[in-house]
Chains A and B, each alone.
Chain A
């Protein structure tokens, strides 16, 4: 298409060139289809479900609502960049241990959103947790095991201080 551009994004600390990309492509599309980072998922394209959550300059955002070409100056972090290769973050491990994963489609977005929450607020109340992840829809679990997973992380982090 004639409206194509080449530009560079900073993702998980690395400069990534996006070649010959239609300027209408969302950050979600570019991550998934051009850069081989399929961790962020697309499930609504309207910023309603949170499956595509990534961090842009430290804020959790829906990558389906961000034009990739508008993020060239930003520091982007995806679920793939949370833990070094072969390891899991405490939130990721807690999700597995607490049965918070069923189909897993919402999981990467939730993991990013929960890291974002706990980084800024280490000891949120139950209601604060609920509000913080109310933009991440899970259709399988009914959220109970997700709350349990977050609670475990809060307690573990509190205990190791």
Chain B
């Protein structure tokens, strides 16, 4: 292969975002920026109670307000009354009962957002308030009445592996708790629903992670065949899992069909906290058995995930949790019990890391304890047990992915540490930042470690394929796919793939919509692998057609032709022609579906090849802690991540840094506070997100060992950065303070009281 001479922005380069100019100028159209002639505004009435019986709803006072066009309740849903990603148990509008604070009860359409607000206030709902079930342990108690006809347990799964009778020379155990985190994407839920003129269909412009799954669920609730519901991706302002479930999709379509007018809906920040699922709070009891030298021989664990009122993806989050509880370490024997349960707390579902975040905080806290029990350093204990390619997981599944765990740890360890805190630091650098409350003499520095394994793609037999179409004419490629661009940069990557495969510069990406087959969800770190594979496949098919044409036209065997830079070259002759000139006026078009290899369900002992592939990462955190005030400043995070291959190094760096900030948030800042089923902090004033002053220095190393299973050699990079950084920070706080940190987020009282 010759080196690329003239083409820009192929795979491996820092290609820049094609939507960058529009975004920096404020011209990019997010779903909340849409506007339509004659549109009305939609809004949702939500339950003020975590658990109550609906005795009566009177919408007539709202309908009497000037400017109100319609008010809808469950009685107005023409199709199925519930939706959901795995189990369809979540009502479009509450029927008889409300099961969480914020559950939708009715929706209105009116001429102005303020009219909507007044209409919602005028709807009369009489409730019989019931005592909410809010302790997930109680959901496992058979004597507690079910709060839903499907019962209080979403799923129980056990893993039994190896010799369960083995007892270690060293045994350490702990109980850990993980709080509820919000995805807090900045671009609030928003949609524009436009009814067909005959009222027999609807077009929805929506910010979502998975157009086709939304389409299926919406059509069922509307009572339409799927083809009557057309979805177009509206500009997405971040997702992180929170756009995998339905929020305002069905409501906006129902209002549009009822009024025969375009409907614009957008949530406020407060409503967004009630309108999407969160990261599951979890409790983990875990016991490690090891030899005196620190080698793990068995783990025993019990994991309890609070799924809240409706199923969402709880059953899949649970499986991710229990199948990753061993961490990136060899473990010959295991007994694990996992439960995902229903409560009257807010529904929980997908968030970046999807069950593995909870498992990782527990297993990494345990590794620290095990190191101390065995007299090893935090690095030595992890190296001693580091998983390798070919090892067998506690599910019996062999790790076929490249598994450079040892290299992740060693390369992280080799990254430079930050300088010590100066004797007279700028107050902004101290814990507490702009609060200017910390004093230098109360600051202690700590260093902590976290290492993780994360599955990529969907699991348990699900075929989450992706579809892409490539059209080539006169050197210009046009790509079509339904892959949700949520900010991660697939719109940058897809043209890079086409340029590399086809030897061209000019690539057009068509709008993402449901007029082509599904791309699956932008989640599970899967789009580079799956939609990248689909775009690569479609482009390769087009290249074959192009070579056949050029071969036939020039009397050359097509198998002898290759792309060299921007030319087609005969490897056994002197023929060369620019791709752009090779087939004037001829249009080549191919569609390709990429499927990953099949996976299996788990059996009753939790055994089975349930995951497709794995990625690994190590994090080392350095923190300064004010031990008097309980404040923490994360100074630096070092990380080495197993990425397979850096298709766009700048984009990878952005994912690493962004994921680390979210993991930092879970470690020391972010928690949705729920008391008696009530969310107490649904705002950015009270739910604190990392700011520019909270962001640590990030030093990193990319580990590029291309994965032979991956279409482009690249593993997904989205989730791993946010997983083990949280336990690394908690570990560093432990080291700085000597405190036994058993929950995240770590609160001031956990440090100083």
For the complex, is B67 an interface residue (Cβ under 8 Å from A)? Answer: yes
Q: Tell me the residues in window 22-56 of chain B with beta carbons closer than 8 Å to chain A beta carbons.
A: 23-30, 32-33, 35
Q: Tell me the residues in window 39-54 of chain A with beta carbons closer than 8 Å to chain B beta carbons.
A: 39-46, 48-49, 51
Give the shortest distance, in Å, between A63 (CB) and chain B (any CB). Answer: 12
B24 adjacent to A108 (CB under 8 Å)? yes
A137 adjacent to B684 (CB under 8 Å)? yes
For the complex, is A74 an interface residue (Cβ under 8 Å from B)? Answer: no
A137 adjacent to B691 (CB under 8 Å)? yes
For the complex, is A9 an interface residue (Cβ under 8 Å from B)? Answer: no
For the complex, is A153 an interface residue (Cβ under 8 Å from B)? Answer: no
CB-nearest residue of chain B to A144: B657
For the complex, is B17 an interface residue (Cβ under 8 Å from A)? Answer: yes
- Which one of B155-163, B232-240, B311-319, B624-632 is at the A interface? B232-240
DSSP majority for the A interface?
loop
A127 adjacent to B426 (CB under 8 Å)? yes
Q: How many angstroms between the C-alpha atoms of A130 and B186 in the bound complex?
A: 19
Question: Which of B30, B188, B685, B693 touches A48 (beta carbons < 8 Å)?
Answer: B685
Q: Tell me the residues in window 1-48 of chain A with beta carbons closer than 8 Å to chain B beta carbons.
A: 1, 22, 24, 29, 32-33, 36-46, 48
For the complex, is A157 an interface residue (Cβ under 8 Å from B)? Answer: no
For the complex, is A146 an interface residue (Cβ under 8 Å from B)? Answer: yes
Given contacts A1-B67, A79-B25, A137-B186, A96 and B20 within 8 Å (CB-CB): yes
For the complex, is B1 an interface residue (Cβ under 8 Å from A)? Answer: no
- Residues of chain B within 8 A of A24, CB atoms compared: 114
B269 adjacent to A45 (CB under 8 Å)? yes
CB-nearest residue of chain A to B184: A139
Q: Tell me the residues in window 123-160 of chain A with beta carbons closer than 8 Å to chain B beta carbons.
A: 127, 129-131, 133-147
B487 adjacent to A103 (CB under 8 Å)? yes
Q: How many angstroms between the C-alpha atoms of A43 and B429 in the bound complex?
A: 28
B689 adjacent to A136 (CB under 8 Å)? no
Q: How many angstroms between the C-alpha atoms of A130 and B489 in the bound complex?
A: 25
Given contacts A99-B651, A106-B186, A139-B184, A111 and B24 within 8 Å (CB-CB): yes
For the complex, is A65 an interface residue (Cβ under 8 Å from B)? Answer: no
Question: Which of B28, B32, B186, B488 touches A139 (beta carbons < 8 Å)?
Answer: B186
B187 adjacent to A136 (CB under 8 Å)? no
A80 adjacent to B25 (CB under 8 Å)? yes
Given contacts A137-B689, A142-B657, A45 and B268 within 8 Å (CB-CB): yes
Give the shortest distance, in Å, between A46 (CB) and chain B (any CB). Answer: 5
- Residues of chain A within 8 A of B488, CB atoms compared: 102
A142 adjacent to B659 (CB under 8 Å)? yes
CB-nearest residue of chain A to B237: A105
Q: Mark B140-156, 1 if CB is under 8 A from A, else 0.
A: 00000000000000000
For the complex, is B650 an interface residue (Cβ under 8 Å from A)? Answer: yes
- Residues of chain B within 8 A of A91, CB atoms compared: 24
- Residues of chain A within 8 A of B186, CB atoms compared: 41, 43, 49, 51, 103, 105-106, 137-139
Q: Mark A89-129, 1 if CB is under 8 A from B, else 0.
A: 00111011111011111111001000000000000000101
- Residues of chain A within 8 A of B572, CB atoms compared: none
Question: Which of B14, B32, B115, B654 touches A41 (beta carbons < 8 Å)?
Answer: B32
A133 adjacent to B657 (CB under 8 Å)? no
For the complex, is B695 an interface residue (Cβ under 8 Å from A)? Answer: yes
DSSP majority for the B interface?
loop
A144 adjacent to B16 (CB under 8 Å)? no
B21 adjacent to A102 (CB under 8 Å)? no
Question: Which of A36, A103, A129, A139 touches B689 (beta carbons < 8 Å)?
Answer: A139
For the complex, is A88 an interface residue (Cβ under 8 Å from B)? Answer: yes
Q: How many angstroms between the C-alpha atoms of A22 and B33 in the bound complex?
A: 20
B237 adjacent to A49 (CB under 8 Å)? no
B24 adjacent to A107 (CB under 8 Å)? yes
For the complex, is B680 an interface residue (Cβ under 8 Å from A)? Answer: no
B695 adjacent to A104 (CB under 8 Å)? no
A42 adjacent to B487 (CB under 8 Å)? no
Question: Which of A42, A136, A141 touches B654 (beta carbons < 8 Å)?
Answer: A141
CB-nearest residue of chain A to B696: A142
- Residues of chain B within 8 A of A80, CB atoms compared: 25-27
CB-nearest residue of chain B to A102: B487
A96 adjacent to B654 (CB under 8 Å)? no
Give the shortest distance, in Å, between B655 (CB) and chain A (any CB). Answer: 9
B114 adjacent to A1 (CB under 8 Å)? yes
B428 adjacent to A102 (CB under 8 Å)? no
Q: How many angstroms between the C-alpha atoms of A93 and B16 in the bound complex?
A: 11
Interface size class of B (residues with CB under 8 A): 35 or more
Given contacts A102-B488, A103-B185, A130 and B693 within 8 Å (CB-CB): yes
- Residues of chain A within 8 A of B291, CB atoms compared: none
Interface size class of A (residues with CB under 8 A): 35 or more
Q: How many angstroms between the C-alpha atoms of A80 and B33 in the bound complex?
A: 14
A143 adjacent to B657 (CB under 8 Å)? yes
CB-nearest residue of chain A to B688: A48
Output the residue of B23, B268, B488 with the most chain A CB within 10 A: B23
CB-nearest residue of chain B to A135: B691
Q: How many angstroms between the C-alpha atoms of A144 and B660 in the bound complex?
A: 11
CB-nearest residue of chain A to B650: A99
Given contacts A92-B25, A96-B21, A102 and B114 within 8 Å (CB-CB): no
A41 adjacent to B434 (CB under 8 Å)? no
For the complex, is B597 an interface residue (Cβ under 8 Å from A)? Answer: no
- Residues of chain A within 8 A of B17, CB atoms compared: 96, 99, 101
CB-nearest residue of chain A to B651: A99
Output the residue of B35, B486, B659, B691 with the most chain A CB within 10 A: B691
Given contacts A104-B23, A139-B185, A42 and B32 within 8 Å (CB-CB): yes
B187 adjacent to A145 (CB under 8 Å)? no
CB-nearest residue of chain A to B486: A103
Output the residue of A33, A38, A140, A141 with the most chain B CB within 10 A: A140
Give the shortest distance, in Å, between B682 (CB) and chain A (any CB). Answer: 11
Given contacts A1-B112, A103-B185, A131-B434, A144 and B698 within 8 Å (CB-CB): yes
Give the shortest distance, in Å, between A104 (CB) and chain B (any CB). Answer: 3
B20 adjacent to A95 (CB under 8 Å)? yes
For the complex, is B661 an interface residue (Cβ under 8 Å from A)? Answer: yes
Output the residue of A135, A138, A147 with the most chain B CB within 10 A: A138
CB-nearest residue of chain A to B236: A103
- Residues of chain B within 8 A of A36, CB atoms compared: 35
CB-nearest residue of chain B to A81: B26
A143 adjacent to B692 (CB under 8 Å)? yes
Question: Which of A43, A48, A95, A99 touches B653 (beta carbons < 8 Å)?
Answer: A99
For the complex, is B392 an interface residue (Cβ under 8 Å from A)? Answer: no
Q: Mark B457-495, 1 if CB is under 8 A from A, else 0.
A: 000000000000000000000000000001111000000
For the complex, is A72 an interface residue (Cβ under 8 Å from B)? Answer: no
Q: How many angstroms between the C-alpha atoms of A134 and B653 in the bound complex?
A: 21
Given contacts A1-B115, A142-B661, A104 and B434 within 8 Å (CB-CB): no
Q: Tell me the residues in window 486-508 of chain B with beta carbons closer than 8 Å to chain A beta carbons.
A: 486-489
Q: How many angstroms between the C-alpha atoms of A42 and B19 in the bound complex?
A: 20
A105 adjacent to B434 (CB under 8 Å)? no
For the complex, is B709 an interface residue (Cβ under 8 Å from A)? Answer: no
Question: Which of A48, A104, A147 touches B487 (beta carbons < 8 Å)?
Answer: A104
Interface residues of A (CB under 8 A from B): 1, 22, 24, 29, 32-33, 36-46, 48-49, 51, 78-80, 83, 88, 91-93, 95-99, 101-108, 111, 127, 129-131, 133-147
Q: Report 6 cross-chain contacts, Cβ distance below 8 Å, ordered by A residue.
A: A36-B35, A41-B186, A46-B269, A92-B24, A97-B16, A142-B660
Contacts A48-B685, A99-B17 aside, 14 further interface pairs with beta carbons under 8 A come to A41-B30, A43-B237, A44-B684, A98-B650, A99-B16, A101-B20, A101-B23, A103-B187, A104-B235, A131-B428, A131-B434, A133-B692, A139-B185, A144-B698
